[in-house]
């Protein structure tokens, strides 16, 4: 990637530019634009003093919002939950030892998790493969495979103490080494409940084969589709990275009762940024739950040049990971994005009662046609299936 593109990719804060343009409008126009672009305005939450001090001392951003529910119910008490997301760059050069890279990331993320705990966050998710650089572009096995660890490995032990201290559910995406399956590698999120105990794990369902995303060199599709975890605060699902491109995948978590679906990701600007603000938001609306899209930040440079069979010259970096993490409510209201370039913490307070309120309004669960979809998907999953197209040579048959 050229230095000019790197500079443009890494320095522009598109959402800040957009909000600056909106600020120059009259209140009527501003309200209309915010309603169209973001579904309305979220209410800022005051940051705790300790969280503010941590963000200043360690140079990370905090954005915190309240997403108001439609109305307060008479019979059900509010189910207020504070949801968090962390995005970050790597902490040291990829040329450093595995242990030094991992330990530096532990030290960095600990500060953001403490800030989240001080903000009263109940459930928080980290970015995809947060304990390492996203080295799967290189197709190299040496060194990068050493970041893999068991579900109950050192990273989980490290996070369990923080989870227990702050009574905070932590979703930790790691490169998993499956000891029970001859050391097989998976892309996995470990679910640590508020008591510090491991509740379970979700493995990545969809593996990309596009551009520099050479992940199938390391791991294949997971075997835990659409798992929903009943944590202390909410029922959560985890749709890892590439799975966000599949509406059916998002739907699976909703059908199994998820109230919040997290999408920990690692994706670069020149590939996916036009899609980023659309997919998770659409999923929240279509499925009537909260979604949290999380992406890492920065440009990670690797020691050796690599190519990906796509005709591009050999290069040493993946491109710019553009951050821009955000949360969306079932009614389509979304938070402003986090930074494209900075380590950041997002905290959003929501009322889970909104899920039923939105479903009552739109009646999606009642009006969808699951038997029709099931019939089509079952037929289409057969290798000899051919779609029926109505034409003059193949007229439509009358139903009896």
pLDDT at 250: 98
Q: Could you give the CA distance from residue 201 to residue 191 in angstroms, rounded to a whole number?
A: 6
- Sequence-ordered list of residues with C-beta below 8 angstroms from that of 175, at least 6 positions apart, any chain: 129, 131, 132, 147, 148, 149, 185, 186, 187, 188, 218, 219
pLDDT band at 12 (very low <50, low <70, confident <90, very high): low
Q: What share of the chain is helix, strand, coil (3-state, %, to 5)?
A: 35, 25, 40
- Sequence-ordered list of residues with C-beta below 8 angstroms from that of 36, at least 6 positions apart, any chain: none
- Sequence-ordered list of residues with C-beta below 8 angstroms from that of 151, at least 6 positions apart, any chain: 174, 176, 188, 190, 198, 201
385 inside domain = no
Q: Could you give the CA distance from residue 260 to residue 244 in angstroms, rounded to a whole number?
A: 14
Q: Could you give the CA distance from residue 244 to residue 216 in angstroms, rounded to a whole number?
A: 18
| Pair 176, 148: CB distance under 8 Å | yes
Which residue of the set 176, 204, 259, 300 is catalytic?
Answer: 204
pTM: 0.95
Which residue of the set 111, 125, 128, 215 is catalytic?
Answer: 128
- Sequence-ordered list of residues with C-beta below 8 angstroms from that of 188, at least 6 positions apart, any chain: 151, 173, 174, 175, 176, 201, 202, 203, 204, 222
Average pLDDT of 2-30? Answer: 69
Q: Could you give the CA distance from residue 247 to residue 115 in angstroms, rounded to a whole number?
A: 34
Residue 1 pLDDT > 60: no
* Cα distances (Å, whole numbers) of residue 165 to 54, 158, 392: 17, 12, 69
pLDDT band at 11 (very low <50, low <70, confident <90, very high): low
Q: How far is CA 239 from the centre of its chain?
A: 7
CB atoms within 10 A of CB 146: 16
**Taking the C-alpha atoms of 42, 48, 50 and 52 in order, what is their torsion angle to the nearest 10 degrees?**
40
pLDDT at 3: 41
pLDDT at 4: 40
| Pair 169, 194: CB distance under 8 Å | yes
Domain that holds residue 173: 41-380
Q: Could you give the CA distance from residue 250 to residue 280 in angstroms, rounded to a whole number?
A: 9
**Taking the C-alpha atoms of 113, 88, 238 and 203 in order, what is their torsion angle to the nearest 10 degrees?**
-110
Active site residue 241: yes
Average pLDDT of 253-259? Answer: 98
232 inside domain = yes
Nearest Cα to Cα of residue 237 among 255, 205, 260:
260
Q: Could you give the CA distance from residue 123 to residue 192 in angstroms, rounded to a whole number?
A: 10
pLDDT at 6: 42
31 inside domain = no
pLDDT at 19: 76
Domain count, the chain: 1
CATH number of the domain that 169 lies in?
Answer: 3.60.110.10
Q: What percent of the chain has pLDDT over 90?
A: 88
Residue 334's φ and ψ, nearest 5 degrees, are -125, 155
Average pLDDT of 90-105? Answer: 98
pLDDT at 272: 95
109 inside domain = yes
193 inside domain = yes
Residue 400 pLDDT > 70: no
22 inside domain = no
Cross-strand pairs, 174: 188
160 inside domain = yes
Query: What sign does the CA torsion over 325, 137, 60, 151 have?
Result: positive
Which residue of the set 42, 125, 137, 241 is catalytic?
Answer: 241
CB atoms within 10 A of CB 153: 16
Residue 5 pLDDT > 70: no
390 inside domain = no
Active site residue 386: no
Q: What percent of the chain has pLDDT over 70?
A: 97
pLDDT band at 2 (very low <50, low <70, confident <90, very high): very low
Active site residue 399: no
Provide the 3-class DSSP secondary structure of residue 245.
helix
Nearest Cα to Cα of residue 250 among 274, 282, 278, 272:
282
Nearest Cα to Cα of residue 239 among 255, 227, 229:
227
Look up residue 39 and give its two tokens: 């579904």
Residue 386 pLDDT > 80: yes
Provide the 3-class DSSP secondary structure of residue 145.
helix
Residue 22 pLDDT > 50: yes
């Amino acid at each position: 990637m050229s230095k000019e593109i790197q500079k443009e990719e890494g320095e522009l804060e598109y959402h800040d530019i957009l909000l600056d343009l909106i600020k120059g409008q009259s209140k009527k126009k501003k309200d209309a634009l915010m309603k169209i672009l973001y579904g309305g305005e979220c209410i800022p939450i005051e940051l705790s003093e300790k969280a503010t001090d941590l963000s200043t001392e360690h140079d990370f951003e905090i954005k915190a919002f309240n997403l108001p529910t439609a109305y307060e119910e008479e019979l059900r008490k509010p189910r207020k939950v504070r949801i968090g997301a962390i995005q970050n760059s790597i902490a040291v050069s990829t040329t450093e030892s595995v242990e030094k890279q991992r330990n530096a990331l532990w030290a960095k993320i600990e500060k953001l998790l403490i800030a989240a705990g001080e903000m009263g966050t109940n459930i928080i998710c980290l970015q995809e493969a947060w304990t390492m650089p996203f080295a799967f572009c290189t197709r190299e096995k040496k060194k990068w495979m050493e970041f893999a660890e068991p579900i109950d490995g050192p990273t989980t032990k490290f996070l369990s103490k923080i989870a227990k201290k702050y009574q905070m559910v932590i979703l930790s995406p790691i490169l998993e080494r499956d000891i029970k399956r001859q050391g097989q590698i998976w892309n996995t999120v470990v679910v640590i409940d508020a008591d510090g105990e491991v509740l379970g794990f979700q493995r990545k369902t969809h593996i990309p084969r596009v551009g520099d995303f050479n992940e199938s060199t390391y791991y294949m599709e997971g075997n835990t589709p659409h798992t929903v975890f009943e944590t202390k605060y909410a029922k959560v699902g985890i749709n890892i990275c590439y799975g966000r491109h599949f509406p059916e995948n998002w739907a699976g978590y909703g059908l199994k009762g998820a109230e919040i679906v997290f999408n920990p990701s690692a994706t670069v600007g020149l590939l996916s940024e036009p899609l980023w603000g659309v997919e998770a938001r659409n999923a929240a609306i279509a499925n009537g739950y909260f979604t949290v899209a999380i992406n890492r930040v920065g440009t990670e440079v690797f020691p050796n040049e690599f190519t990906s069979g796509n005709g591009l010259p050999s290069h040493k970096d993946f491109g710019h990971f553009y951050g821009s993490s955000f949360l969306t409510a079932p009614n389509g209201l979304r938070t402003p994005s986090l930074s494209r370039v900075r380590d950041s913490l997002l905290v959003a307070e929501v009322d889970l009662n909104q899920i039923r309120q939105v479903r009552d309004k739109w009646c999606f669960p009642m009006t969808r046609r699951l038997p029709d979809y099931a019939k089509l998907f079952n037929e289409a999953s057969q290798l000899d299936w051919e779609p029926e197209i109505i034409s003059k040579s193949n007229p439509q048959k009358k139903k009896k």
